Amino acid sequence: MAKTALKAGSRFKSAVSDAQVMIVKAPAGEFELGCGGAAMVGGTAAAPEGLTLAAGDAGEVLIGKRYVNADESLEMLCTKGGKGTLSLDGVALEIKQAKQLPSSD
Partner 1 sequence: MNIATILDMAAEAFGDRVAVACGDSRYTYAELREAAYRAAAQIKASNAQYVALLDVTSPAAPIAIFAAAYAGVPYVPLNYRLTKPELNELIERVAPAYLITTPEYAKLLEPREGVKVVDRSTFLSLPATDGTIPEIGDDPRAVAVQLFTSGTTGKPKAAILRHENLMSYIVGTVEFASAEEDDGIIVTVPPYHIAGISAVLSSTYACRRMVQMDGFEARAWLAACREHSVSNAFLVPTMIQRIVEHLEESGAGANLPALRALAYGGGKMPLTTIQKAMQLLPHVDFTNAYGLTETSSTIAVLGPDDHRAAATSSDPAVRRRLGSVGKPGAVELEIRDDSGKVLGAEEAGLVFVRGPQVSGEYLQQGSQLDVDGWFPTKDRGYLDAEGYLFLDGRSDDVIVRGGENISPGEIEDVLLTHPSVADAAVVAMPDEQWGEGVAAAVVLKAGAAVNVAELQELVKGKLRSSRVPQKIVFKDTLPYNELGKVLRRLIRQDFI
Any contact of residue 105 with partner 1 (CB under 8 A)?
yes
Residue choice 4, 79, 83, 92 for contact with partner 1 (CB under 8 A): 79
Please report whether residue 64 would count as binding partner 1 according to CB under 8 A.
Answer: yes
CB nearer to partner 1: pick between 8 and 70: 8
Residue 15 DSSP code: S
Residues 6+ apart with CB under 8 A from 81: 18, 19, 60, 61, 62, 63
CB of 34 to partner 1, least distance (A): 20
Residue 11 interacting with partner 1 (CB under 8 A): yes
